[in-house]
């Protein structure tokens, strides 16, 4: 699923690192699951949490068999202006999958003529992309909670992909100092915790993977366009 800040490009790089010591029955948890592009490939016992209720309701509906369809620009703006008139899962689909770059109601994405004269259908792409994910999401436990309130089984592998510090474009920002303290506490309780970010605190975190990539959410704090930043995966070593 196209989603702002998605790690879909890096799944093949980072997931084997995080799961290399996983044992049978061990839980894999994502407190900031978003577009589900990483967790859909993890398999086994999984918990997917996100603060956005429309997103979670959408994923629950999709895994229960709901089939999305394309919408018009007029429908898009009607749902954006009157979300309470529609089922939450439908609002989630329209808000995320029918918007450019997967930003929640960030602008209607329909059919667009490209520079080389072809037509690109963003919604058809979204429907195909989600269809490829849904079968892999069977059995996932979906939660809609602030990350601090999520109940994580002791001994879990936890992957955090929070809104990055110093970037713009997210509707739900977080207190980053509080977040890092929460990660340390989670690690101290016997969990293996990984975090995607541009930077981490100097003490208690080890960068175990990095890769330069273009992004619309660069570390320079400006949203939109393409900038180059270094994506990093950190392991919390504090106990």
Q: What does the pLDDT look like over 167-181, one tens digit per residue? A: 544 445 799 999 999
Q: Is residue 231 within 8 Å of 211, Cβ to Cβ? A: yes
Query: Distance between CA 12 and CA 130 in Å, rounded?
Result: 18
Q: Is residue 120 within 8 Å of 112, Cβ to Cβ? A: yes
Confidence of residue 107 (pLDDT cuts 50, 70, 90): very high
In the numeric block, the tokens 């690690």 are attached to 187
Residue 178 belongs to what H/E stretch? helix 176-188
Query: Distance between CA 93 and CA 83 in Å, rounded?
Result: 12
What is the value of pTM for the model shown?
0.90
Lowest mean pLDDT among 6-10, 20-24, 104-108: 6-10
SS (H, E, C) the chain: CCCCCCCHHHHHHHHHHHHCCCCCCCCEEECCCCCCCCHHHCCCCEEEECCCHHHHHHHHHHHCCCCCCCCCHHHHHHHHHCHHHCCHHHHHHHHHHCEHHHCCCCCECCEEECCCCCEEEHHHHHHHHHHHHHHHHCCCEEECCCHHHCCCCCCCEEEECCCCCCCCCCCCCCCHHHHHHHHHHHHHCCCEEEEEECCCCCCCEEEEEEEEEEEEECCCCCEEEEEEEEEEEEEECCC
pLDDT at position 214 is 78
In the numeric block, the tokens 């208690």 are attached to 204
Query: Distance between CA 77 and CA 228 in Å, rounded?
Result: 33
pLDDT at position 170 is 44
Q: List, for residues 150-164, the tens digit of each pLDDT value.
A: 999 999 999 999 998
Query: Distance between CA 98 and CA 85 in Å, rounded?
Result: 18
Domain ranges of the chain: 1-51+145-239, 52-137
Query: Distance between CA 216 and CA 53 in Å, rounded?
Result: 24
Domain covering 1-51+145-239 in this structure, CATH number: 3.40.50.150
Give the strands of the sheet with 141-143, arranged side by side.
141-143, 46-49, 28-30, 157-160, 192-197, 223-236, 205-217
pLDDT at position 117 is 85
C-alpha distance from residue 68 to each of 34, 41, 89, 163, 176 (Å) = 18, 22, 10, 27, 35
């Amino acid at each position: 699923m196209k989603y702002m800040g998605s790690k879909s490009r890096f799944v093949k790089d980072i997931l084997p690192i995080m799961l290399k010591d996983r044992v049978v029955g061990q839980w894999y948890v994502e407190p900031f699951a978003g577009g589900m592009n990483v967790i859909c490939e993890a398999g086994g016992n999984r918990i997917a949490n996100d603060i956005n209720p429309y997103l979670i309701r959408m994923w629950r509906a999709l895994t229960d068999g709901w089939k999305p369809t394309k919408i018009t620009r007029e429908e898009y703006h009607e749902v954006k202006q009157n979300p309470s008139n529609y089922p939450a899962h439908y609002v989630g689909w329209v808000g995320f999958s029918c918007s450019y770059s997967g930003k929640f109601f960030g602008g209607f994405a329909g059919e667009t003529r490209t520079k080389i004269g072809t037509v690109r259908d963003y919604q058809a792409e979204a429907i195909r992309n989600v269809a490829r994910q849904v079968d892999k999401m069977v059995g996932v436990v979906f939660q809609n909670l602030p990350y601090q309130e999520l109940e994580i089984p002791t001994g879990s592998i936890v992957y955090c992909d929070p809104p990055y510090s110093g970037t713009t474009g997210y509707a739900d920002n977080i207190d980053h100092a509080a977040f890092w303290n929460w990660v340390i506490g989670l690690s101290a309780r016997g969990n293996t915790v990984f975090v995607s970010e541009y930077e981490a605190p100097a003490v208690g975190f080890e960068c175990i993977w990095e890769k330069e990539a273009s992004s619309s959410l660069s570390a320079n704090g400006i949203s939109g366009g393409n900038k180059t930043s270094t994506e990093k995966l950190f392991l919390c070593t504090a106990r």
